[in-house]
Structure 1
Amino acid sequence: MNSKLNSFFSRLTTGKRLALVLVAILLMITAAVYQTTKATVTIVKDAKENITVTTHAKTVGELLNEQGFKMKDEDDITPSLQDPIAGNMTVEWAQAKQISVSNNGEEKDVWTTAATVEELVDEQGITLDKNDYLSKHIDTPIEEGMQVTYESAFPVNVKYDGEKEEIMTTSTTVADLLEDAGVEVSDEDRIEPGEDKEITGKTDIEVVRVEKVTDVVEEEIDYATVTRRDDSLPKGEEEVVEDGKKGIIEKRYEVVLEDGEEVSRELIEEKQIEESEDKVVAVGAREPAVTASRGGSGNNPSSNGRTISMQATAYTANCSGCTGVTATGVNLNNSPNKKVVAVDPSVIPLGSRVYVEGYGEAVAADTGGAIKGNKIDLHVPSKAEAGRFGRQTVEVTILD
């Protein structure tokens, strides 16, 4: 090859040789100038990949096409594709990614060139409060196909432990809100509305503290007064033979408290601690013999009447379940001071006038389920008087 070139040049005249050398030098100078006139451009791809190239491209768009880059309309390119290329320039190219954004329940697909979730939130015009919900951390890099959910917090009024507090939340149920707010709830507590209730900004929540406690109460049981006829004592004179003693009963209650206030009380156990003991009173019965004519004033028994020793108790028409009307039709509610006795008609016929020791003259106008045989029940105006009478042995004289 070299020998052929040497032979070729040897045949040329000196002038032609000079011309060829000049052409070659010119071509070399032109090539050198072409290379030196290329612009140096740095392409920064997605803020992390730097590519440095030299180019004769006239615009940024031509440069990127020249490098074989495929761009989308949503990409962010600075300077723009139409801007001219200048030496030592930097082109920043942020490739857009398509992601799904849910903003307070409104979901849409968006193209974004944001590098992080924080930049995306700013890009979408979302003002992020500390109580708002964001499904991704703000430093999370944006990736193709990512889903980001945002929910703004709303106020809910919560009343508990005597305090009322406004809580900003994005919780969907009462239970979630109480847990997020750090409000502890026991199994006994009552939540209004229920824990599974869905909440909105208009929801008011109340936690009622419910507590069950046991209350033990001791109650006294009054003793009964029993009278005994004593013929050794003058009539009308009384003497205490045995003092009465009150008994004690223990009652155990289950008490329900709501926010410290008692709302219900249920008796669950009752136990006798001490038995009561009756008070025994001797009542004098000794009196001079009294003679009265039949049909007299009624203050004394007739000497002609039959006298019976009977067990006497007292009752009043003013009692629960009582009609106040006797077996013979006497309305004791209308005549509370009327002297009426209940008898066993087989012993004392109804309608008889009787004289009862310590009670006076009365009419046998009533009966009773427990009045059998030598028993008599004396009508008195009040329950208190009936209680004081107790049970006594008396002499009853049938006047007629």
Structure 2
Amino acid sequence: MPDPDPSGPQRPLERVGVSNSQYTQHSQFETYEAYGPYAPYQPPGYGGYDLHDAQTLGYGVPGAYEDTYRPAYEAAETPETPLPRQAGSAAGEDAPAPAARAGAGTGRRRRAARRRKARYIELPDGSMRRLLPQALVVAFLAGGTTAFVAKDKAIELNVDGKPRTLHTFADDVTELLSQENVDVGAHDVIAPAPGTSIRSGDEVVVQYGRPVRLTIDGHRREVWTTAHTVQEALEEMGVRAQGAYLSAARSRAIGRAGLSLDVRTERSVTVMADGHARTVRTNAATVHEVVEEAGISLRGEDTTSVPADSFPRDGQTVTVLRVTGTKEIREEEIPFKTQRTEDPSLFKGTEVVDRAGQPGLRRITYSLRIVNGVRQKPRLAGTEVVREPQPQVVKVGTKSLPTSVRGADHLNWKGLAACESGGRAHAVDPSGTYGGLYQLEARTWQSLGGSGRPQDASAEEQTLRAKKLYVRRGSSPWPHCGARLHG
């Protein structure tokens, strides 16, 4: 069989179980890398023969060379055939002729390659023990590389609309976000959900929540949205924005800090005025604006059936009230108060008016209105004090009354009182001249040391004054009932 063409594809010698570096470092073998995969085996001391110039004999030519190859397991039994020069040197013979060497060149190269392969497989026991741990390390590293590649995942991470592709060893969404330092809050949206396992090729989306302080038709509330613009937020919240008033442009971006948004949707409001009804479509903020949009003017005291500054509701009817009227002024008294002061010169139970009280005067203004031709109940428009009231001053006696009057204590004073006044201390006759238990005249009362009127004094003082009167004049002051004193 001819030698392979050096210019054609060549396959390196097969090495079983040992790496290149181990092969080249082993002291028992020839250096493989120094000659290349198909270089001839040329040990030192060949005496200057150029093996490449030797004649190559065809395979199978009788007598060309002897095949000395032996399997590795026969190496111990059959000694290796020495090389020509080695054999000659050992036997003392001359080196063979150049022609013989040329015929045997190709065979020697093949046999040398086979011997190297056999020796490479059947290493001595000591060398195999040295190479085995290194082979295990290589196998372990090969298995670890496979596991390393298997754990690596290509993931597309989209954070708030900004996508990027990355490689990660994370097992689930939570671990991935932690590795990428993506902080999420309670109002943020994560898909898939945190804790979900991930595989290569998956997409993880994080949408940040944004607070929106939303006022819709006067109702205020705070909502969270993942939308990036006002228009997207309105669509997400289902707000009917057609024909509505917006405090911010629809294209305005919503930042992480959020924004305040006032929305007034379009409503239908009916305005009743001067006997006519007008229905308008509006997004006005107040009833007053709706009335103006309906082309109705308010004059003087004109007003509306609902507060003019209130928010108009859809389907609401607002009535304009035409108001005319006048004012009415009335005067009322302000009652005075009574002040009492103690007077030691008066007997206990006696009160005397020292200064009469005077009522004050208050001026009250009422509004008389006619609404849409109907007179309304007067309404209080204001009050004004014209004169302050003056208090009444009353003296109250504190002097102790005597217990008796000589010559009159044994008489029946209860019987006299019952006959004169029915036993009532504050009784006054129909003419107003006499008063008290014993119906004494005011002038007589004062002559007895009393003050004021007898009916204003206590019962004890009245009895005391009556006893004094009896000592002076007997029972004559009571011509009809005086006999009761002795009964």
Q: TM-score range by the shorter chain?
A: 0.3 to 0.5
Report the TM-score, using the length of structure 1 for normalisation: 0.40
Of Structure 1 and Structure 2, the greater helix share is in 2
> Which structure carries more relative contact order (alpha carbon 8 Å, separation 6+)?
1
Larger radius of gyration: 2
Report the TM-score, using the length of structure 2 for normalisation: 0.34
